[in-house]
Amino acid sequence: MNLQKKKDREELDQRIPRMPWYVEKFMNYKLPDLSPSSLLEYIRDYETFLSWLMAEGLTSTDKMTEIPLEDLERLHMDSVDNFRMFLATKRDHANTKTTISRKLSSLRSLFHYLSQIAEDDHFYPLLKRNVMAKVSVKRTQKPKDTAAKLEGKLLQEQEIIEFINYIKQDYAHDVATNKQAIYSHELNRVRDCCIVSLILNSGLRVSELVNLNMDDIDFKKRLVYVFRKGKNDDTFKTPVYFRQDAVSDLEEYLAQRETRYKAPKKEKALFLAIANGKKEGSRMTKRAIQEMVMKYARRFGKPYLSVHKLRHSFATDYYLSNDLYKTQEQLGHASPETTQIYAHLTDKTMAEAIDRRKTDEA
């Protein structure tokens, strides 16, 4: 089990006992099909809902574990609408439309299970009335809308090479008067370049990148083996292709990994960092990689770039030479609908390329 899944599973095990028995029953039902990370999202959504029920006096108890099924059966549509309004206007943290839809979808899944699948000792449904069956949860973000938001915020064609080269060479010139920045860059330049190059030549997620181990790389086949997001099988890693362009960056980093980061022999992690006060390198964190990318992006003149937008940049470039299903497989998307954003992005990219070619010919 990779580090994030292990951490999420531990948190899940801590949170489930705080839930009513029927929520725990639903979690056990879903466990074989969903990852701990996905189940943890369900639990958090149910905590929000059940806490709201108690705060509004819509349940006969003030202990979450003791909220009876009968209180769920007595809910009116007005109550669901009020909960939706509560999510949209929370003082401390108002939720986006996408988050609200996800939370309502979580409740629909629970209520559906209790009313249509789970049975009592007499073979009757556990939940006799399902108010959530009346709630329609619309997809709030269409692929075309996502593509529109990403337009102009990704690296395209030559910019991919330019950004990698910027980390290799030009960043040092931009921070020449900052001794601390120069020292950090000199120490980590090869590693940072390798990380960015690997994302831009494979489309890996940051969670997949963080969990890479030394033995997950196959140079001969140009593959890395990762635990894919959403898959609950921790015994099988998925092979993901990386382009030839990443090979030299990987080889250069590996040549100095052990000496530069004083890697202990037992440390399997591919990407290492030496934390403050430590003498030996350990696995880089997701946050460290995200902050590293943003640091270079700001100096490069594209402050909106993030690790995820680097993944989008690869995907858009990859889709130009491949079909929808190859792109879906490369990125590890569960549905081709998610991959369709690159069809919309590449339509504009191709149009701009044709316009540039016409200008050059003129």
How many C-beta atoms lie closer than 10 Å to residue 292's C-beta?
Answer: 20
What CA–CA distance (Å, rounded) separates 239 from 216?
Answer: 9
Catalytic site includes residue 76: no
What is the token pair recorded at 324? 């929808």
Active-site residue, selected from the candidate residues 257, 309, 333, 344 = 333
How many Cα atoms within 13 Å fall on the side-chain side of residue 19? 24
Strand 223-226 vs strand 272-273: parallel, antiparallel, or unpaired?
unpaired
Active-site residue, selected from the candidate residues 229, 243, 260, 283 = 229
Instruction: Print burial letters for 85-110: b (CB count within 10 Å at least 16), e (below 16).
Output: ebbeeeeeeebeeeebbbbbebbbeb
Contact, 154 vs 341, CB < 8 A? Answer: no
Type of residue found at 171: Y
The length of the chain, given as a count of residues: 362
Catalytic site includes residue 205: yes
Active-site residue, selected from the candidate residues 185, 222, 342, 344 = 342
Catalytic site includes residue 308: yes
Q: What is the DSSP string of 10-38?
A: HHHHHHGGGS-HHHHHHHHHHTTTS-HHH
Q: What is the DSSP string of 53-82?
A: HHHTT-SS-S-GGG--HHHHHT--HHHHHH
Active-site residue, selected from the candidate residues 185, 191, 205, 257 = 205
Active-site residue, selected from the candidate residues 311, 312, 318, 344 = 311
Type of residue found at 201: N
Active-site residue, selected from the candidate residues 262, 283, 308, 348 = 308
Strand boundaries in 192-330, DSSP class E:
217-218, 223-226, 238-241, 272-273, 282-283
What is the token pair recorded at 358? 């016409």
Catalytic site includes residue 229: yes
Name the residue among 200, 150, 205 with its Cα closest to residue 349. Answer: 150
Active centre residues (catalytic)? 205, 229, 308, 311, 333, 342
